[in-house]
Amino acid sequence: MTISFARVSGTSEVTLDEEVTPETLPAGTVEVEVTYCGVCATDTHNYTSGGAVPPAVFGHEWTGTVRRVAADVDTVAPGTRVVACVGPPCGTCAMCVAGHAEHCDTAFAEANGVSPDAGVHGGFATGLVVAARRVMPVLDGLSDVQAALVEPTAVTFHAVRRTRQPLGAVVVVQGAGPIGLLAAQHARHAGAGRLVVIEPNAERRHAATELGFTEVFEPGDAVREHLLAITGGLGADVLYECTGAAALLQPSAELVRRGGVLSLLGFPMTDSRVSYGDWQVRELTVVGSLAYRHEDFLGAMRSIADGSVRVEGLHTGTVGLADLAALMDELDSGRTRHAKVLVDPRL
C-alpha distances in Å from residue 70, one per residue of 75, 202, 227: 11, 49, 55
What is the reported pLDDT for 280?
Answer: 96
C-alpha distances in Å from residue 15, one per residue of 7, 10, 63, 113, 122: 5, 9, 22, 20, 13
- Summarised one tens digit per residue, pLDDT across range 83-105 is 999 999 999 999 999 999 999 99
In the predicted model, residues of the chain with pLDDT beneath 50 are none
Rounded Cα gap, residues 59 and 7, in angstroms: 9
Domains of the chain plus CATH, in order, are 2-149+311-343 (3.90.180.10), 156-288 (3.40.50.720)
Q: What's this model's pTM, rounded to 2 decimal places? A: 0.95
What is the reported pLDDT for 269?
Answer: 81
What is the reported pLDDT for 336?
Answer: 83
- Summarised one tens digit per residue, pLDDT across range 247-293 is 999 999 999 999 999 999 998 888 888 999 999 999 999 999 999 99
Contact 329, 303 (CB under 8 A): no
